[in-house]
Structure 1
Amino acid sequence: MEPGNDTHGSEFLLLGLSEQPELQPLLFGLFLSMYLITVCGNLLIILATISHSHLHTPMYFFLSNLSFVDICLTSTTVPKMLVNIQTQSKVITHAGCITQMFFFVHFLGLDVLLLTVMAYDRFAAICHPLHYTVIMNPQLCVLVVLMSWIMSVLHSLLESLMVLGLSFCTHVEISHFFCELNQVVHLSCSDTFLNDRVIYFAAVLLGGVPLAGVLYSYCKIVSSIRAISSAQGKYKAFSTCASHLSVVSLFYCTGLGVYLSAGTTHSSHSSAAASVMYSVVTPMLNPFIYSLRNKDIKRALERFFERDTRKG
């Protein structure tokens, strides 16, 4: 393939998870179901936290933000995949690919930052319970979320602008179901040395540092829980962070699994299938983890449905 003279007029081809025609209806039904479950589940979490005053705390403020980001993250990739399967078209324009990449990187980075902030919130609640309301005051909560949005937008903007400076062949085949940053960069006809350095630096700064913060917070939390004398007190302290710990473990384990699998296999389709875990499955499971392991959320959802039933 010859490099195109007009990079912005080029088209990308999203090959998806499988090119076998008989699997397309199955993939369409599976991903449509997961997308609807993700949107409805996270939307219920948001409505429950907004409509019940006893959930107007830092923990649930961050949780509602995480649910909103999870909806946006899956909405960035899955609807386009469903449209491509339904129309039997794999084409995405250059502008559409860059736009999808920008929002995916943005919401994925925001997911990482919010999980880190939530770990600090649990650290403050368990390790400094008497000063919790002072430490996690409303102004700080809003400021932290706002700073997370700004940092994520700036990172995503930088990555997208650098990809805009690359030249591509007239028809580029991406062995993925969305425009994944690393794959798009490596399919460029230009020199990608600077892009690779920025990607690695961002991975360490926005991936490694937050992970270190989460690990540090939970080391302190475990140390504080071990110092509690009663078994009931230990269980109560652990239960306040069990849901978040489950979500963090699921997110980071699936994310690391993608990059480890990408390094050990040459199959791009295997990497794409692994990416489904942290980009689609994890946002779908988050509402179940928080609602099943959290009595406050379960009560709020029960009251929410009871109120709607009375109105009906």
Structure 2
Amino acid sequence: MTPRDAADANDKRDDGPGDGPGASRWSDLDRPPLNSVALRRALVREDGLWSSVEVVQRTGSTNSDLVALAAAGKVAEGAVLVAEEQDAGRGRLDRRWTAPARSGLFFSVLLKPAEVPVERWGWIPLLTGIAVATGLSRAAGVDTALKWPNDLLITVDGEERKAGGILAERAGADGVVVGIGVNVTLRADELPVPGAGSLALAGAVSTDRDPLLRAVLRSLEQWYGKWRDAGGDPAASGLQETYAAGCATLGRSVRAELPGDRSITGEAVAVDGDGRLVLATGEGVQEPVGAGDIVHLRPA
């Protein structure tokens, strides 16, 4: 089944996603459905990156679906798959990502950066983070920052909160599927954990998901094009400098929880050319961290 088939099948259903049998897609007027036709008209162009935009009412994981479609050769680079609701969404380190139907943006894109050496593909999640942060800042009017490597941070009542995340997965030998989840209208009583937030809770000037999604995808197209045109060079494309400027982790004391139950504590001083976070430890050693969970120990 292609994303279009899935979208058509779901559009014929009478019940709304996650609202119980027989509920209307319009049962929550604060959370209207996305307009897939308008999104395609705005984003899909012959000379552009986005080759298709499909919206399904409910799925387990847009990442898993798009990886499978890419493996079967059913989608081209630039395919975008959006779900109004996910019941098996995943974040980094296999964490679950759940949210009420139509309360956020839950989507995945397929990228095939043939012009870029594979060793530079590690920049794709960071690139996506920049695109999401800049796109939402413009369209929602919310000040955003990035926690290394790929969490979107906002401020709610003076407190730093996580409003979104990014997960990149290989799709065959030549592709990467990037999944993006952003809480848009999540209410205080719907937050899954105390440290979560949403654009609405941060005082967004707009929570209309159609223009928010368009803004993010246009920003991603722009940054991906710069990076690809530069052969994946993070300095020449401006990616490394921009990421450092928007990274809330830099300048902080942090703990890096690493695979194998190891941890390193130090000051985050840089993001190197490979996209790794460089920590200056108390022993005077600078250690690059390429994978792991980062805990902010004090404000910048």
What is the TM-score when the length of structure 1 is the normalising length?
A: 0.26
Q: Which has the higher strand share?
A: 2
Give 1 or 2 for the bigger CA radius of gyration.
1
Q: Which has the higher helix share?
A: 1
Q: Which has the higher contact order (CA 8 A, sep 6+)?
A: 1
